[in-house]
Structure 1
């Protein structure tokens, strides 16, 4: 019976981030800067709206695409924030987190033999979903381009089998983002090709040095783009599992079929919580962002003092310094950091082979935790 399961699963492993996080649990007195989990509580008004939804018995199935009130709120929000225009009645789907949105999109557009271009290093959640959909992953090395998947790199990577390009910006693990000009260049490459663009913009509210621009604002490629977003990072609502996707009507209606047979609908209670967050919590992300920005500046200052190289992150809450010990893999160095210094960072090879030599540090932790962790890192490096 062991040979009768889906063959695509044989090459798929549990996320390297989670593997490492679980592994370090056996060690005592370790400061972990590993997980991308906001350390702020869910806003109080959102929690109260959740309780109210339960008390009002809003606990039944909803429309497959999500309650219309939430879709209308999302439509207004993306228009006001990012100048995106999507019809709430037929161009958006409320999903079980951004991860499910990516999954059902890939399963809609991908066929066996297709190729999907993704930057390396990159969040490890894309490759398994691409493979499960029957496609091949084509990594593009971005380490010489400040971790940016540029128009030139995409043009060089495109083949006759290319079906989709994933733009995960602001980026996990590097924290970098793309400028409006860089996105325009990518749009110019894509517009005359039959290639989809998945723009994973889950960190769009957490940008620091420039406003976030969505590639879907360029009319020349709007028909190519599926925008992925949600409230997990923006409103510290990871456990509510509410994401959403935006797509042209002709495509959204097909993605909705996959979504319907996958989960029927997202949690009704969580949808009402997200409605409160998006309608009445527009300022919640900015309050969190102010604190993340302070932490970012502090972490960069400490890494500069240690002489570590990194690309300045302008989004999310990650930084990706180069930490490499001669003759040792990054994973082994990360284990040595845990065992000898009591500090845990995610080894860069968890984000593809192009992350080798780097480590991801999450600054979604309190200033006190960051201070202690960076003190331990500095002591290790100086010794």
Structure 2
């Protein structure tokens, strides 16, 4: 088959460096602090609910929009935790993970040649997601440790002509938690220049400092915002691929049409299990955040001691570091760490503008058992930094 027979979208979509890092774990027998893949079990009540749903034969197609009771529960969650009133019949769509949610959001808004603003460092998926719709990425590079934005920094890019801004809060890979003031800057510019926001909130409950603010709650943004969220991170079921979108009825109708012919529906029995998860009390969320904070505080000092200049995350479960002490290039540094310390991290190239030639960031995931993190710390401490 000729390479010229392939579509541009397939040629412009590169293999995931995150998944690649997990693969070379096997080569070196390394501890996987690369992929956001917890090595501890999901809540027993959640698994039991899934088993019950399968046993009760909820194994056929669900409503393509999502199980009605689950959409009602998601709407109740938005009112309870975000102070936002949404219509479960017209605004909530259950889909196959936040990944599909992001894709159907982009497919509903972006035509080939439309410009989409991404804040760097960004989640790896955003570039290939744009490739599938022919969108053009515009980058704004944020600086550690605060990763702050300003109107002066952003307005020239809005003036160029944008269709969409993608926001991730709390953010992967930096742990940035967007403040209400920062979201207000984005909201004001979006309303002035007729731009939409897709807000990726998959780490909403994994928060250590500050507050989680949903863009949908900002005045004037109810018709311009698509919220993408899911169950995988909060409930430790990354393999279930269960997510949802929330938007105004017009945007929701567009996403539902695409979702229907893309995946038809999210896994039916798992939707019943997700309904059970949404009935967990507040204590569950508080304990989960406390557990992740403990894990963060276990790994962070070790990375400091290695001279990696880690940035303390305010949310999510990753730590961003500067690996220049290990090697001049992030790929070389990640490879060295995996080979010498038997610990895998993700090279920062996949989180940055592809045109950048000098990237020295590494991302470490701490969604691991304490014993896993302790073993990784012990192994990294054996590396001779020269």
CA contact (8 A) 1:40 1:288 kept: no
CA–CA separation in structure 2 for the residues paired with 1:24 and 1:98: 26
CA–CA separation in structure 2 for the residues paired with 1:163 and 1:381: 48
Change (3 A) 1:326 1:214: same
Establish whether residue 120 from structure 1 lines up as the match of residue 120 from structure 2.
yes
Which residue number in structure 1 is paired with residue 274 of structure 2? 274
- Please, what TM-score do these two structures have when normalized by structure 2? 0.93
Which residue number in structure 2 is paired with residue 253 of structure 1? 253
Which residue number in structure 1 is paired with residue 372 of structure 2? 369
CA contact (8 A) 1:120 1:147 kept: no
* Gapped regions of structure 2 (runs ≥ 5): none
Change (3 A) 1:218 1:292: same
Three-state SS of the structure 2 residue aligned to 1:166 is strand
Instruction: Report deviation, 1:301.
Output: 2.6
Establish whether residue 25 from structure 1 lines up as the match of residue 26 from structure 2.
yes
* Gapped regions of structure 1 (runs ≥ 5): none
Change (3 A) 1:152 1:366: farther
1:42-72 superposed Cα distances (whole Å, 9 cap, x missing partner): 2111111112111222122222110110000
Instruction: Report deviation, 1:283.
Output: 3.6
Which residue number in structure 2 is paired with residue 153 of structure 1? 153
User: Is 57-66 or 302-311 further displaced after alignment?
Assistant: 302-311
RMSD after superposition: 1.9
Change (3 A) 1:381 1:314: farther
Instruction: Report deviation, 1:151.
Output: 4.0
- Please, what TM-score do these two structures have when normalized by structure 1? 0.94
Instruction: Report deviation, 1:91.
Output: 0.5
1:193-251 superposed Cα distances (whole Å, 9 cap, x missing partner): 21110010000010011221111111221211100111100011212211000000111
CA–CA separation in structure 2 for the residues paired with 1:228 and 1:150: 24
Which residue number in structure 2 is paired with residue 88 of structure 1? 88
Change (3 A) 1:95 1:326: closer
CA–CA separation in structure 2 for the residues paired with 1:381 and 1:20: 22
Summarize the alignment of residues 130-209 of structure 1 with structure 2, pairs less than 5 Å apart. 130-143=130-143, 146-209=146-209
Which residue number in structure 2 is paired with residue 73 of structure 1? 73
Three-state SS of the structure 2 residue aligned to 1:78 is helix
Which residue number in structure 1 is paired with residue 219 of structure 2? 219
CA–CA separation in structure 1 for the residues paired with 2:151 and 2:97: 29
CA contact (8 A) 2:176 2:315 kept: yes
Three-state SS of the structure 2 residue aligned to 1:173 is coil
Instruction: Report deviation, 1:124.
Output: 0.8
Three-state SS of the structure 2 residue aligned to 1:100 is helix
CA contact (8 A) 1:119 1:148 kept: no
CA–CA separation in structure 1 for the residues paired with 2:64 and 2:327: 53
Instruction: Report deviation, 1:159.
Output: 4.2
